[in-house]
Structure 1
Amino acid sequence: MTQSSVQGEGTLQRVRHADEDSAHAGRTTAGTAQGNSPGTEEEPESGPQAEALHGGRRARRAPRLGGRVLRWTAGAVALLVVGTAGAGYLYYRHLNDNIKEDHLNLGDSDVAAPTPNAAGQTPLNILLIGSDARDSEENQKLGGAKETFGSPPRADVQMLLHLSADRSNMSVVSMPRDTLVQIPKCTDPDDGQVYEASNGRDMTNLSLSNGGPGCTVATWQELTGIHIDHFIMVDFAGVVSMADAIGGVPVCVDANIRSRDSQGHGSGLELEEGTHPVKGEQALQWLRTRYGFGDGSDLERAKAQHMYMNSLVRELRTNATLGSPNKLRKLAEEATRALTVDPGLNSVKKLYDLSNELRAVAPERVTMTTMPNRYVGARVEPTEDAEQLFRLVREDIPLDGKGQKKKRTTEPVSGDPAAPDAEIAVQVQNGTRTDVLGPANRRATEVAGLLTEAGFTGAVPDPQTPPAEKVTVVRFPSADLEGDAQAVARALKIPLSSVRRSTDVSGVTLVVGADWREGTVYKAPARSDKLPDTAEALNGADDGACMHVNPAFSW
């Protein structure tokens, strides 16, 4: 198979629709996104029934993309069918004009694209974004807290879709909306508006307020080291229309559920025990529900979304009603109206080409995951297992464990020249603590001494105790220090794969992990390509999954 014809085009200026004039040269608006049933309160941000966060970091101005999207699932519908209902050139032009676009990456730097395989193929990574903004009358009617009308949107749904280079398998990685990350500096190329990097860590869903989806893309790339080719956003009302067009999606609950508490929180979803097709507003309620599923956390909502997407794909493959030209036309119309994309996906032809690639993957080769995380108060942060998941995606290793074993490639050497060893400042931290052992005594001092003996006279131990690290790692904050960080790694025989860019550090930082609690010679542990159990994988062919209902929300 040839390389994808829809690879990303970088940060580009917005291309206006053919019917736009100079008065409409700014960004157009989509609908909006995630909310509650009419008249209900805003849902809390995180954790089991955590308190709502109504403040937080805000953009300095209201973004010009007034209406944002809701669900990546609607994006999946659009990708699978858009373009098949065209009836002539004029209708094709009409569908093209429905599609809205925005910049791909507003960050100051990018992650290099993967090296093509022997067949010239590269993986394809698409970020699917949802928002809690409610900026249109249509979307406001479908759900939400009235007090949030017109406020800056937040990216409450974020999922990375990874299509393998050989197009044999696909992975989806969900990130909880309240994951604590450092949002990078983002610049709006339309007006030069600068959104400074977060001071410390903020919830990842705030990234959308900083100029649009391009800042959410930049945030993902900084955290994961994964090159993102495209993004897709779908508006709130579009989810309802497209669910109607396909005739419903089967979902399952293990008990009767009514998602509403005494304070009015909840999506309003009401279903009897068993499997039922949901469509329209009921489908939207399913995708928004967390009150009533398990412990009421965002993690439970992600599971429900994974179940919906799996069922949706199976339905699109087998549902005979989609053979109707009129239904296909309606679906194509609703899908294109709902979409906001980057310039690399700004036409029906590009979306249709992409849909053909996605449809080629069998459901049993699709793996849904949630980023491994742990609670920090009412929020969450990535764990060591999250880095393992990100590495598997970066290296295009199938998450289902099937297929040929990926051959190890030569580790990439930075094009940034290293400074002389004696001029490289290095902070050495003791991250050797484990679940059962405290930090190894004076380990940062000992390893800093090894670097000094090797000529890195600027190496000093950091008296602060960092978070525990299972594996020793060298971090650097910006591209101009990558060569220096790799020089440090080579001096201690640390694999270059353990040299990572991170906005959590201000200079080259060596964190001595639990794998090097003693001794003067580092021995890298054998790497495992197994998906961590904490990723809570769901196979795309699993039609027996059922959401567990919290008894407090049953009837």
Structure 2
Amino acid sequence: MTQNAVRAALPEDRQESDQDPQEGPSDGGDVPVPEADGDRRPRRGRRLLKWSAAVLALLIAGSATAGYLYYRQLNDNIKRDPLHLGESKAAAPTPNAAGQTPLNVLLIGSDARDSKENQQLGGARETFGSTPLADVQMLVHLSADRTNMSVISMPRDTLVEIPKCTDPDDGTVYPASNGRTMTNQSLGHGGPGCTVATWEKLTGIHIDHFVMVDFAGVVSMADAVGGVPVCVDANVHSRDSKGHGSGLKLPEGTHPVKGEQALQWLRTRYGFEDGSDLARAKAQHMYMNSLVRQLRENATLSNPNKLRRLAEKATEALTVDPGLDTVKKLYDLSTELRKVEPERITMTTMPNRYVGARVEPTEDAEKLFRLVREDIALDGRDEKPEKKRETAPADPAADDAEIAVQVRNGTRTDTLAAAPGRASTITGLLKDEGFTSASADIVGSFSEKRTVVRYPSADLEGDARRVAEVLGVPASAVERSTEVSGVTLVVGADWREGTSYRAPEEDDKTPESANALNGADDKACMRVDPAFTW
């Protein structure tokens, strides 16, 4: 795309970014605040979902640029930040029978206006130099056996608890959020490592790496990979009577887009389905899947100069953790990701519900997280899920009387107060069963959807399994966690009464509310709002 073409697109971008009467402010707050009609507030990073497509393209198509990956200056282009800034981390998954472990990479889109190029592409002058927001967050999960890949997008307005984080540069300590805060604010609490910590706290999924990208280089990368086929079910023009919209204009059917038009597709909200960010995420998933298919079909791009510019722009736009801080490491990651065929890639959006102008995870979201934690393919094609093949713990369980168990009351929910006395009741049950060292934590209450037994280190895994076995808690609810100092039983909302635990029935199907899209689906088509057709 030429500089003139970029400039031509910017006024439309700024109209959508700076004045958008349908959505709330991107900087968020601890509680949702509904907007009044006609409320116009500054927006930051309206087009950020396009970055995830660019980053995924870079990772999956790494071999296409192999001839340029080892230039010394490319390594110097890459910016680095610590992986995890929180106080506690999700436990790493247990290797499967073949000694393999899953790989989880968090893709982050920052709306930082910290350079002339980022400011030109991002617009919104009033945000220049302000604290950046993580307005795009996508978790890429590569299965342990490298046969399938799952992607979970989290809406930027999701209300979460941001954990305590420490800025690695100046030592500033950001206390844990008081109540729930928009997830995109996590980036401003010390850097991408706090966004990683926020994800781990919410999902319990161990994250191995992050890749963060800013505005710069996106347009050049879109041009370098050539046209990407996209589909609309009717003529669409993303422009309303007040001038809002990306300006995308496409006739009904499937058409290749690149350059300015690809940029318009990736930022279009007005004109797609209900006009929300969720609809835009769906369009992003379609583009990403199509892009991956294009790159796999054309593994070698023909123009060496374009390849060199693509590599330079891509590395200049990246911030990564130390585990990915060279082009060689990024290339090795791309090699792993390329093992997955498009038909085994599943794109999803975290199931959510509206809370005022914001959203929050639903019960289906926890199910989606569990499937990823247990390395169960979201396409439902696993023949032998690893969760059914249990290995013996490193250390066997001690005698029941010697196992110290702390019992917590986790029966509080969003709508119900904690069931009184549950910690004491289940502690008494354990003592009757011979666990005479069990004790109740009677200070405060916790919120846990399902009963779980946690342990901090491998030498206590056998003890934790023994506690679960005696109570009838399934092995899948025994998990390692650095948030506990010993074997800890959390009585969940699924056990609010009685002394006999009955595990809720569960299936391993991806929730319909996750809006799953298969990577090989070349028939997917965006539904056009009749108000934006021509």
Q: How would you bin the TM-score normalised by the shorter chain?
A: 0.7 to 0.9
Partner of 1:473: 451
How far 1:429 moved relative to its partner? 2.8
Task: State the Cα RMSD in Å.
Answer: 3.9
**Alignment map for 1:193-208 (pairs within 5 Å):** 193-208=172-187
1:451 equivalent among 408, 427, 433: 427
CA distance, structure 2, for counterparts of residue 156 and residue 445 of structure 1: 42
* Residue from 23, 32, 44 that aligns with 1:50: 23
Q: Which position in structure 2 is the counterpart of 1:159?
A: 138
1:169 and 2:144 equivalent? Answer: no
Q: Which of 290-299 and 181-190 deviates more? A: 290-299
Q: Is the 8 A contact 2:28 2:157 kept in 1?
A: no
Residue among 349, 352, 356 paired with 1:377:
356
Structure 2: distance between partners of 1:88 and 1:299 = 37
Q: Which deviates the most, 186-195 or 222-231?
A: 186-195
Residue segments in structure 1 that go unaligned for 5+ positions in a row: 1-34, 58-67, 434-438
**Counterparts of 1:231 and 1:430 in 2: how far apart (Å)?**
33
* TM-superposed deviation, 1:546: 0.8
Q: Aligned partners of 2:352 and 2:11: how far apart in 1?
A: 26
Identity %: 64
> Is it true that 1:40 corresponds to 2:40 in the alignment?
no
Partner-residue secondary structure (3-state), 2:107: strand
Deviations along 1:357-406, one digit per CA (max 9) or x if unpaired, are 21121110111111111222221111121111111111111111113221
SS at match of 1:156: strand
Tell me which residue corresponds to 1:409.
390
Q: Distance in 2 between matches of 1:327 and 1:114?
A: 40
d(CA) in 1 for partners of 2:305, 2:128: 35
Q: Distance in 1 between matches of 2:451 and 2:365?
A: 15
Q: Secondary structure at the match of 1:236?
A: coil
Asked whether 1:352 is paired with 2:331, we answer yes
User: Does structure 1 residue 133 correspond to structure 2 residue 133?
Assistant: no
What residue identity is the alignment partner of 2:425?
G
Q: Is the 8 A contact 1:41 1:145 kept in 2?
A: no
Q: 1:236 to 1:477 in 2, by over 3 A?
A: farther
Give the direction of change, closer, same or farther, for the CA distance of 1:376–1:307 in structure 2 (3 Å limit): same
SS in structure 2 opposite 1:403?
coil
Structure 2 unaligned segments of length 5 or more: list them.
1-9, 31-47, 432-437
Superposed displacement of residue 224, structure 1: 1.1
CA deviation after TM superposition for structure 1 residue 511, in Å = 5.1
Q: Aligned equivalents of 1:511 and 1:289: distance in 2? A: 45
Contact 1:82 1:331 in 2 (8 A): no
Does 327-336 or 344-353 show the bigger shift? 327-336
The reply to whether residue 395 of structure 1 matches residue 374 of structure 2 is yes
**CA shift for structure 1 position 242:** 0.4
Counterpart code for 2:375: D
Q: Is the 8 A contact 1:69 1:131 kept in 2?
A: no
The question of whether the paired residues in 1 share the 8 Å contact of 2:407 and 2:427 is answered with no
Q: Partners in 1 of 2:102 and 2:52 — Cα distance? A: 19
Superposed, 1:338-349 pairs within 5 Å as 338-349=317-328
* Contact 1:293–1:547, Cα closer than 8 Å, also in 2: yes
Alignment of 1:61-100 (within 5 A): 71-82=51-62, 84-85=64-65, 92-100=71-79
Shift of 1:457: 6.3
Per-residue CA distance 1:180-200 (angstroms, 9 max, x = gap): 110011112232121111111
1:115 aligns with 2:91: no
More off after superposition, 485-494 vs 103-112: 485-494
- Are 2:259 and 1:280 aligned? yes
Q: Summarize the alignment of residues 131-530 of structure 1 with structure 2, pairs less than 5 Å apart.
A: 131-319=110-298, 322-406=301-385, 407-410=388-391, 424=406, 426-427=408-409, 429=411, 444-445=420-421, 448-455=424-431, 458=440, 472-474=450-452, 492-495=471-474, 497-498=476-477, 510=490, 512-514=492-494, 516=495, 519-530=498-509
| TM-score, normalisation: structure 2 | 0.80
Aligned-pair CA distance for 1:253: 1.5
What is the Cα deviation at residue 550 of structure 1?
A: 1.8
Q: In structure 2, do the counterparts of structure 1 residues 43 and 496 end up closer, same or farther at CA, with 3 Å as the change threshold?
A: farther
- The verdict on how the C-alpha distance between 1:423 and 1:334 changes in structure 2, with shifts beyond 3 A counting, is closer
Corresponding residue pairs, total: 492
Structure 1 residue 335 displacement after superposition: 2.0
Tell me whether 1:538 sits opposite 2:521 in the alignment. no
Secondary structure of 2:134 counterpart: coil
Relative to the length of structure 1, the TM-score reads 0.77
Q: Using a 3 Å threshold, how does the CA distance of structure 1 residues 537 and 81 change in structure 2: closer, same or farther? A: closer
